[in-house]
Amino acid sequence: MKFEHLKFVRVGVSLLFFVLTAIIFLDFSNLVPPAFAGGVLYLQFVPSMLKFVTLLSIGVAGFLVVLVLTILFGRIYCSTICPLGTFQDIIGFISRRVRKKKIYRVTPPHNLLRYSLLGATAVALLLGNGLLLNLLDPFSNFGRFCTNLFRPVLLGVNNAGAWLTETAGLYWLYRVDVKNIGMEALVFPLLMLTLVGWLAYRRGRLYCNTVCPVGALLSLISRYSLVRIAIDEGDCKGCGLCEKVCKSECIDRKLKTVDFDRCVGCFNCFDVCPRDGMTFLTPWNRGKFTVRPLPSARRPAVKRTDQVQVPADERRRQIIFGPLLALAAWQGVPQREKKQIVSTKASTVPELRTSAVSPPGSRSVEHFTSTCTACHLCVSACPTRVLAPALLQYGVFGILQPTLEYRSGFCNYDCVICGEVCPTGAILPLPLEEKKLVQLGIAKFVKENCIVETEGTDCGACSEHCPTKAVNMVPYKGKLVIPEMKPDYCIGCGACEHACPTKPYKAIYVDGNPVHKPARKPEAKQIDQKVDYKEDFPF
């Protein structure tokens, strides 16, 4: 049977998912409607699974579709829907053109490593610790590449384009500053990009078959798939072309076997087979083909002379990089502001934060940190750039999960986009009017740091920006006015903190509510003044 068109279809579908997913993450102008993003990302395995657990709604059960696909046809998720998979294929494509000599060769599986990582990830998750999942999940890793690494590059290109067109008097584009991605947050995505990129360049889909927990889980399931790729001995002439194009390194031309639980369903082998050697084996057509079973322990014959050994240091690297990253990221609080000459006295009282602030709709820090995989889609979508990857604000286990970072922005009063785009349910959608009454934290006023107190001049930047007037200016010495907090009305948006000009410590800052609380509705006091348009001017 001929199936050479399958590869073509797979490439088309995978590029479609890849391009759409990338656009969703790179869209810096909020052009993509959240509903569209939700549709495209519906089938992403880990986010969908977490959202399903949170909402228990069949409407978010994209991962079940993936499971059904896997039990039917094997790991085709890995070669179509997974954006990191396609990313590796693109690197592999380049690699095959650059390094003409090298081709893929069958290698033994790293079952101990991959199933250990899967087990550790699962156990940690069940114990409520998602760090391992967050660090290894392919979708989230791809999201972090886009948001933290590719997006700044795109902005650079955009800004250069804007500058060029502006010199011609055209203002079609606008320049965008990178605000919410601190250098520290780049360390992990960069390490991961290097690892995944290097593995893909040298060894095809080795990441998917050694590190990726989704790959490992689907591997387990694919052992029981109904339709399996196999070599039909009757038609195979042993030319070995299939092995040379197998980026999972799971086809053994000598033994004429396909280690199907490592197969990512790319169909490259069907494409190259000059005869009908590659076939789909089902419970109903077994009799028609002669297919050799895999050797025991699912390993191709060991000690083969032409076999490529996995360097031991490669495996070690994968185990070591985790702790290394934590060390690398341990540089303290983000310092994103540029140095400035301060003419006034420096503020003296440090901010005392007891809790990080989680996004509106996340209900509590606990719900958020246990459900967020740090894919950074909200970081990318947030129009005010207040959402930024955390370092240690949520503790070591919450590394990279987004938090409200008021140095880079503040939460827009009339915006709920983070909840609309969040694919995991860590941030749940909130109707706008409800969101305006959710208190993420409470602003604390530190009079000792306030300009009105230290300089004796008017300021009021905090009250100016406050959307609910929870910070109000009240009479102070002489004609001065000074901020006064009405905490019940505070929603923790951080507009006050963002605007507060004192340095190095803010005179007003938001301390997070570990569990979000309801805020009081702002009072609407009518102006008691009539206007007579016929009346004379007051001058």
Partner 1 sequence: MDRREFIRRSVGGSIVAGSAFALGDYGRLLAATPSPKPNAYDLVAVKGGEPDDMFDSAIEALGGIGAFVKKGQKVLVKPNIGWDVTPERGGNTHPKLVSRLVQHCLNAGAKEVYVFDHTCDNWIKTYKNSGVEKAAKDAGAKVVSGESESYYHEVDLPKGKRLTKAKVHELLLSADVFINAPILKHHSSSRVTIGLKNSMGMVWDRGYWHRNDLHQCIADFGTYRKPDLTVVDAYYVMKQNGPRGVSLSDVLTMKSQIVATDPVAADAAAAKIYGVEPRDIPHIAYAEQMGLGKTALETLNIKRIKL
Footprint of partner 1 on this chain (CB under 8 A)?
29-30, 159, 163, 169, 171, 174-177, 340, 342-344, 383-384, 412-415, 451, 455, 457-461, 463-469, 472-473, 479, 481, 499, 501-503, 522-527, 529, 531, 533-534, 536-539
Residue type, 195: L
Instruction: Using alpha carbons, select from 272, 301, 81, 102 the residue that is nearest to residue 200.
Output: 102
CB of 126: closest distance to partner 1 in angstroms?
A: 40
Asked if residues 495 and 466 have their Cβ atoms less than 8 Å apart, the reply is yes
What's the closest the beta carbon of residue 512 comes to partner 1, in angstroms? 22
Quick check: 89 and 14 in contact, CB under 8 A?
yes
We find the least distance from the C-beta atom of residue 302 to partner 1, in angstroms, to be 60
Comparing CB distances to partner 1, the nearer of 274 and 478 is 478
CA distance linking residue 329 with residue 326, whole number of Å: 5
Report the nearest approach of partner 1 to the CB of residue 169 (Å). Answer: 7
- Residue for token digits 């199933």? 115
Q: Which is nearer to partner 1, 130 or 460 (CB)?
A: 460
For residue 48, CA distances in Å to 45, 51, 59, 429 come to 5, 5, 10, 15
Minimum CB separation of residue 509 from partner 1 in Å reads 15
> Of 284 and 533, which CB lies nearer to partner 1 in the complex structure?
533
Q: Where are the alpha helices (DSSP H) in 81-212?
A: 83-98, 111-126, 131-136, 138-144, 151-167, 183-203, 206-210
DSSP state letters, 223-271: TT-SSEEEE-TTT-----HHHHH-TT--EETTTTEE-GGG-----HHHH
Question: Closer CB to partner 1, residue 354 or residue 457?
Answer: 457
Q: How far apart are CA 516 and CA 361, in angstroms?
A: 9
Instruction: Report, in Å, the least distance between residue 163 CB and partner 1.
Output: 8
Instruction: Quote the least distance from Cβ 442 to partner 1, whole Å.
Output: 18
Choice between 278 and 473, CB closer to partner 1 = 473
Q: What is the 3-state secondary structure (H, E, C) of 414-475?
A: CCCHHHHHCCCCCCCCCCHHHHCCEEEEEEEECHHHCHHHHCCCCCCHHHHHCCCCCEEEEE
- In 10 A of CB 474, how many CB atoms? 9
Cβ partners under 8 Å of residue 263, min gap 6: 74, 75, 222, 229, 246, 248, 250
Minimum distance of partner 1 from residue 462's CB (angstroms) = 8
- Provide the β-strand partners of residue 278: 231
Considering beta carbons, is residue 264 or 471 the nearer one to partner 1?
Answer: 471
| Phi, psi (deg, nearest 5) at residue 517 | -120, 160
- Shortest Å distance, C-beta 421 to partner 1: 16
For residues 280 and 225, is the Cβ–Cβ distance under 8 A?
A: no
Smallest distance, partner 1 to C-beta of residue 455, A: 7
Quick one: 340 or 354, whose CB is closer to partner 1?
340
Cβ-based nearer residue to partner 1, 8 or 174: 174
Instruction: Give the residue with the Cβ less far from partner 1, 84 or 443.
Output: 443
Nearer to partner 1, 29 or 348 (CB): 29
Contact assessment for residue 33 and residue 20, using Cβ atoms and an 8 Å cutoff: no
